[in-house]
């Protein structure tokens, strides 16, 4: 109800005015900002400092509403069609101007022009849109995405295209659950890339899109994932830091492994008996990184950032929620695709299971774990997911001086599973390990190499006829 909204105070989507400002621009900025983002309401007749309902003159209501309608029509471009109504609260009349998310973005104040007159809503204030946001709004308004645009700085490379086709098929095969399903996976062809919009055919000439570049040699300097482990709960002291570049799908795998390396395990494993699991659901970690990469604004000169703190894992994606979506809507499965070609390819690779389900799965997996639900935040013009580590709260509630338990060898759960499977079958192949673990063979090779470097496992004999040997008895 409106009374409850007023009682809650101003927010990102609600603004109060005691009266219609004499300078129309003061509230027209908010009208523009709401239309360019997730919509909102301006309520006339409420004190923005005390939230007190002061009302408007009942004899002037319809005149005021008429003036507001004309002012919005005269000052805004493209035209905005507000819903303006009257509500009575505590025997006082207030005027409610409701602005819906617009489809013809960017909206701007005519007299200021597009570059100076475009505003967006950020943390309860209306602020000018910078160059990156303005370009993103223009793409939204023209129903185009950055990744489907031709990359004029690059030439089409058939070898890169073939490597991408092979990588996509490899992911598809690894995602198939049975041998029969794996055998049915067809080769990915150049025509598939054209059909998905990754490559374009212009008058018989093949040209790369931005998606093609992002999925191959990736020359965009800000299209990378920055990962860091911090001491404590603030971004002050680095313990470990890595930047992952290259094709987006490889960045996701590497960032995911980085997080697994730096979070704790919650039980003990001895011999062949495994009772241990990561303190956070791995599905939630992966979904957060995938979403941050897939739906980011590539026009923003910032990187996806994954930060591990004592109390949380924080994943930040450049760009506000796309297309007027709100946090409440995405929690319910609402989805709009900012980067269509990348989303299409990731869907084929099963990196994205189904559009619009990632956030819900994140919440569901945390609920099954019995831990705090993820926190979704809009931080300025970025979107952030916080996954809270239960080990920090448990330790600090029981003994403030103690520290979270960690694996003595700093092995991640994937590495522990590999050791168990080798103990069970020393002749197991890396392909079988990948199939059983549900990860790529590339990820298996990386973990096997780290285990070998630590002296935990050793390859005896040839690659074809040899076997694995566990050199140390390990307890976690």
Q: What is the pLDDT of residues 281-291, one digit of tens each?
A: 999 999 999 99
Which residues does 296 contact at the CB level (< 8 Å), separation at least 6? 304, 317, 318, 319, 338, 339
What's residue 274's pLDDT? 52
Q: State yes or no: pLDDT of 401 exceeds 60.
A: no
- Separation in Å, CA 246 to CA 215, 252, 253, 271: 8, 10, 11, 38
Instruction: Give the separation between CA 146 and CA 294, rounded to whole angstroms.
Output: 12
User: Residue 28's pLDDT is what?
Assistant: 97
| Pair 245, 182: CB distance under 8 Å | no
Number of C-beta neighbours around residue 434 at 10 A: 17
How far apart CA 118 and CA 127 sit, in angstroms, is 8
pLDDT tens-digit profile of 462-471? 777 788 888 7
Looking at residue 399, what is its pLDDT?
A: 44
What domains can you pick out in the chain, each with its CATH number?
2-130 (3.30.950.30), 147-214 (no CATH), 225-398 (3.30.565.60), 413-470 (1.10.10.10)
- Average pLDDT of 16-26? 93
* Sheet containing strand 225-230, strands side by side: 238-244, 225-230, 304-308, 312-318, 382-388, 375-379
Query: What is the pLDDT averaged over residues 12-25?
Result: 92
**300, 221 contact by CB (below 8 A):** no
Q: What percent of the chain has pLDDT over 70?
A: 92
Q: Mean of the pLDDT values across residues 335-359?
A: 89
Provide the angle, in degrees to the nearest 10, between the axes of the packed helices 282-294 and 358-369. Answer: 160
Chain centre distance of CA 407: 29
Q: Residue 333 and residue 178: Cα distance in Å, rounded? A: 29
Check residue 357 and give its pLDDT.
Answer: 79
113-128 tens-digit pLDDT: 999 999 999 878 899 9
Q: What is the pLDDT of residues 165-177, one digit of tens each?
A: 999 999 999 999 9
Per-residue pLDDT reduced to its tens digit, 179-209 = 999 999 999 999 999 999 999 999 889 999 9
Q: How confident is the model at residue 421 (pLDDT cuts 50, 70, 90)?
A: confident
CA-CA distance, 172 to 88, in Å (whole number)?
A: 59
Predicted pLDDT of residue 476? 45
**Helix locations, 311-389, DSSP H:** 327-331, 340-348, 358-369
Half-sphere exposure of 196 (CA within 13 A, CB side): 28
Q: pLDDT category, 405, cuts 50, 70, 90?
A: very low
pLDDT of residue 24: 93
Report for 145-154, 355-364, 398-407: range of highest mean pLDDT: 145-154
Give the start-end residues of each E strand in 211-342. 225-230, 238-244, 269-270, 273-274, 304-308, 312-318
Q: Tell me the pLDDT band of 407, cut-offs 50, 70 and 90.
A: very low
Tell me the per-residue pLDDT of 239-286, one tens digit each, with 9 for 90 and over.
999 999 999 999 999 999 999 999 987 655 455 555 568 899 999 999
Three-state SS for 471?
A: coil
Give the confidence band of 143 by pLDDT, cuts at 50, 70, 90. very high
- For residue 466, count other CB atoms closer than 10 A to its CB: 13
Which of 191 and 447 is assigned the larger pLDDT? 191
């Amino acid at each position: 109800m409106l009374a409850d909204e007023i009682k809650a105070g101003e927010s990102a989507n609600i603004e109060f005015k005691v009266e219609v400002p004499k300078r129309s621009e003061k509230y027209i900025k908010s009208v523009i900002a709401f239309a360019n983002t997730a919509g909102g309401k301006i309520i006339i007749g409420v004190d923005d400092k005390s939230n007190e309902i002061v009302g408007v003159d009942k004899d002037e209501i319809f005149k005021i509403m008429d003036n507001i309608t004309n002012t919005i029509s005269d000052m805004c471009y493209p035209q905005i069609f507000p819903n303006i109504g009257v509500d009575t609260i505590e025997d006082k009349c207030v005027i409610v101007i409701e602005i819906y998310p617009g489809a013809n973005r960017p909206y701007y104040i005519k007299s200021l022009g597009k570059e100076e007159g475009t505003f967006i809503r950020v943390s309860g204030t209306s602020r000018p849109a910078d160059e990156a946001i303005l370009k993103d709004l223009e793409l939204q308004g023209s129903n185009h995405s950055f990744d489907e645009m031709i990359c004029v700085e690059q030439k089409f490379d058939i070898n890169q295209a073939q490597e991408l086709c092979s990588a996509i098929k490899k992911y598809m095969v690894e995602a198939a659950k049975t041998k029969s399903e794996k055998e049915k996976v067809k080769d990915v062809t150049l025509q598939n890339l054209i059909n998905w919009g990754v490559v374009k055919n212009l008058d018989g000439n093949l040209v790369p899109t931005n998606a093609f570049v992002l999925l191959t040699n990736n020359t965009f300097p800000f299209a990378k994932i920055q990962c860091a482990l911090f001491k404590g709960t603030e971004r002050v002291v680095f313990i470990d830091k890595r930047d992952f570049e290259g094709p987006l799908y490889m960045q996701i795998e590497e960032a995911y492994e980085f997080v697994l390396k730096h979070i704790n395990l919650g039980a003990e494993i001895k011999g062949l008996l495994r009772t241990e699991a990561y303190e956070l659901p791995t599905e939630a970690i992966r979904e957060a990184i995938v979403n941050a990469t897939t739906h980011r604004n590539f026009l923003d000169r910032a990187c996806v950032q994954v930060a591990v703190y004592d109390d949380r894992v924080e994943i930040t994606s450049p760009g506000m929620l796309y297309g007027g979506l709100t946090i409440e809507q995405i929690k319910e499965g609402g989805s709009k695709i900012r980067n269509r070609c990348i989303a299409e390819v990731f869907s084929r690779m099963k990196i994205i299971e189904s559009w619009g389900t990632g956030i819900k799965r994140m919440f569901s997996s945390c609920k099954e774990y019995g831990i705090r639900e993820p926190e979704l935040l809009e931080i300025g013009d970025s979107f952030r997911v916080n996954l809270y580590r239960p080990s920090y709260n448990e330790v600090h509630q029981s003994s403030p001086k103690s520290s979270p338990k960690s694996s003595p060898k700093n092995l991640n759960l994937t590495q522990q599973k590999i050791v168990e499977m080798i103990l069970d079958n020393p002749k197991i192949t890396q392909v079988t390990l990948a199939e059983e673990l549900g990860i790529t063979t590339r990820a298996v090779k990386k973990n096997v190499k780290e285990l070998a470097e630590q002296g935990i496992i050793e390859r005896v004999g040839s690659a074809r006829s040899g076997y694995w040997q566990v050199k140390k008895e390990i307890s976690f």
